[in-house]
Structure 1
Amino acid sequence: MTRTALVTGASSGLGAEFARQLAARGADVVLVARDRDALAQVADGIRAASGSRVEILPADLLDDDDLAAVEARLAEGVDVLVNNAGFGLDLAFEKNAVVDEVRHLRLHVEVALRLTHAALPAMLERGSGRIVNVASVAGFVPRGTYGAAKGWLISFSRWANVTYAPRGVTVTAVCPGFVHTNFHERLGLPPGEEGVAPGLWLDAGTVVREGLRDAARGRAVSIPSLRYTLLVAASRILPDGVVVRAASRGR
């Protein structure tokens, strides 16, 4: 039976890559993002490459009615949910507009919580399903409100995986480091001006491939690449002051 995967933030970056790789594995995909035209381009590419059925669901997940529509689609039943939608803010919390910080928190935490809650009943009734929450290695270190939000997502995923895996539903937090996508461009940083050492960049295809592999193995946390696994391990034993200064490099 063909599986169905719903991916948020699917118009570009990691979201589009998740959709492509899931389709290549035989899944039909539901693409969710605000930009209908961008979703259509991704959908055309997936159909041409894999022949999978692609459904477009344009939605602003911070709009109550749009979010409700996505929740309703999940309640109909999907096999895989990828909570990927998100955006970044300047690390200078005191300079950011509080309304932007609240929107940031809602998208990374509340929206992921609500979509997971919407998808779970059908998955549990069927006795199978996978939920992938795209977090970040920032969730393991003190790094502004982005790291704090991703830390919540990691903790939630670890708890949910222990709770629901025995009933057939696994939950995995995929935690990449810096990835070559348009994420930093949306922060107004052209390529080469992100302040990130070349050796810390990851390829989107590799991140998604390793994340899906770990999700298939039922792991609660996936940290793509050995270099970031080692950096996270080091952050757990170093003083907060050292970790915060190191994590503040790059955007």
Structure 2
Amino acid sequence: MTIHGKWTLVTGASSGIGEQFARQLAKQGSYLVLVARSQSKLESLASELRKRYGIKAEVIPMDLAKEGAPSELYRQCQLLKVDIELLVNNAGFATHGLFEEVSGERQHEEVMLNVAAVVDMTHLFLPDMLRRSSGAVINVASTAGFQPLPYMAVYGATKAFVLSFTQALWWENRNRGVKFFALCPGSTDTSFFNVVGAEEASVGKKDTPERVVEVALRALEEGKLYVVPGVQNYFGAQLSRFITRKQSLRLVGSMLRPRKGSGNNKNPGNQSDLAGRTIR
């Protein structure tokens, strides 16, 4: 798809994978609507990309985990008179620990951002794309979406939802001019694991946000349904197809079991604006 001179909206754009989407799309000449909670980071990034690539960039600071936030974001885009050609649903975060010990409020926010916001954003922006018979939606899922995650139960379930949701809409819209694509990274070198509060949530060698986004944009151009960057990550994601569910749970659970003294997120902590996220 041609993105030069057209508008892309990136959520979770202040750092990590979201920031890389903004940088690489700006390099291709895309105009940008950057969304995250941190206005100062967004303003700094937008200013840099305007100067470097001569693009237009709008900043909308917003917490998409809040009820009604996607609708307000869509309204602001209408006021700005921007038609979104590419929607990148990237914002999200994870929690780690025994389910009953993790803050219930925090896990509710996790579902609101990782699931509800993705559904609402897609439902709001898709009709405009269909009217033009042109556009694309990238949803950042994770290798976490391919199997249940003991000690990260809510996060794994949200990513399984995103993967299933995206694949279903890929089929519905395959002949209507709008592309759908799921990015499923493994461990990625962002501040995701600092926010989660557990380094054991990182599995395997960490990829770079730059390479993850390069792979994603190439796969979108090729019309792929989803992509798992990295050979090791790909085979890891497919492993659950060849072993029993109990074997899969035993393997993943042993890797993600909280270490003594590592913390379990009883304190809600700081929400991530990244989708650097995946257990990737």
Q: Which runs of 5+ in 2 are unaligned?
A: 257-278
Give the direction of change, closer, same or farther, for the CA distance of 1:30–1:195 in structure 2 (3 Å limit).
closer
Q: Kindly indicate whether the alpha-carbon contact (under 8 Å) linking 1:85 and 1:107 is maintained by their aligned counterparts in 2.
A: yes
Map 1:87-166 to 2 at 5 A: 87-143=93-149, 144-166=153-175
Whichever residue aligns with residue 92 of structure 1, its letter is: L
Deviation (angstroms), 1:45? 2.6
Whichever residue aligns with residue 43 of structure 1, its letter is: A
Which TM-score applies when normalising by structure 1? 0.92
Question: Aligned pair count?
Answer: 247
Deviation (angstroms), 1:65? 4.9
SS in 1 for 2:24: helix
Q: Kindly indicate whether the alpha-carbon contact (under 8 Å) linking 2:16 and 2:209 is maintained by their aligned counterparts in 1.
A: yes
Which of 63, 80, 83 is the matching residue for 1:60?
63
Q: Kindly indicate whether the alpha-carbon contact (under 8 Å) linking 1:72 and 1:118 is maintained by their aligned counterparts in 2.
A: no
Aligned to 2:265: none
Deviation (angstroms), 1:90? 1.0
The Cα RMSD (Å) is 1.8
Q: Which structure's relative contact order is higher, taking Cα pairs within 8 Å and 6+ residues apart?
A: 2
Map 1:15-94 to 2 at 5 A: 15-73=18-76, 77-94=83-100
Aligned to 1:3: 6
Q: Kindly indicate whether the alpha-carbon contact (under 8 Å) linking 1:108 and 1:150 is maintained by their aligned counterparts in 2.
A: yes
**CA shift digits 1:105-149 (9 cap, x unpaired):** 111111000000111111001111010000000000111111111
Q: Kindly indicate whether the alpha-carbon contact (under 8 Å) linking 1:60 and 1:67 is maintained by their aligned counterparts in 2.
A: no
Aligned to 2:222: 217
Aligned to 2:205: 200
Residue 233 (structure 1) aligned with residue 241 (structure 2):
no
Map 1:179-198 to 2 at 5 A: 179-189=188-198, 193-194=199-200, 196=202
Give the direction of change, closer, same or farther, for the CA distance of 1:195–1:154 in structure 2 (3 Å limit).
closer
Whichever residue aligns with residue 161 of structure 2, its letter is: W
SS in 2 for 1:57: strand
Residue 244 (structure 1) aligned with residue 227 (structure 2):
no
Deviation (angstroms), 1:47? 2.1
Deviation (angstroms), 1:97? 1.9
Whichever residue aligns with residue 118 of structure 1, its letter is: L
SS in 2 for 1:184: helix
Give the direction of change, closer, same or farther, for the CA distance of 1:56–1:226 in structure 2 (3 Å limit).
same
Deviation (angstroms), 1:25? 1.0
Q: Distance in 1 between matches of 2:34 and 2:122?
A: 16
Q: Kindly indicate whether the alpha-carbon contact (under 8 Å) linking 1:80 and 1:131 is maintained by their aligned counterparts in 2.
A: yes
Deviation (angstroms), 1:91? 3.6
Q: Which runs of 5+ in 1 are unaligned?
A: none
Whichever residue aligns with residue 137 of structure 1, its letter is: T
Deviation (angstroms), 1:77? 2.2
Q: Distance in 1 between matches of 2:112 and 2:184?
A: 19
Q: Distance in 1 between matches of 2:185 and 2:201?
A: 17
Q: Distance in 1 between matches of 2:47 and 2:142?
A: 29
Give the direction of change, closer, same or farther, for the CA distance of 1:195–1:132 in structure 2 (3 Å limit).
closer
Q: Kindly indicate whether the alpha-carbon contact (under 8 Å) linking 1:3 and 1:79 is maintained by their aligned counterparts in 2.
A: yes
**CA shift digits 1:212-247 (9 cap, x unpaired):** 111122222111111111112222111223222332
Q: Kindly indicate whether the alpha-carbon contact (under 8 Å) linking 2:145 and 2:157 is maintained by their aligned counterparts in 1.
A: yes
Give the direction of change, closer, same or farther, for the CA distance of 1:89–1:126 in structure 2 (3 Å limit).
same
Q: Kindly indicate whether the alpha-carbon contact (under 8 Å) linking 1:71 and 1:114 is maintained by their aligned counterparts in 2.
A: no
> For structure 1, which segment, 79-88 or 60-69, has the greater mean C-alpha deviation from structure 2 after superposition?
60-69
Q: Distance in 2 between matches of 1:131 and 1:73?
A: 19
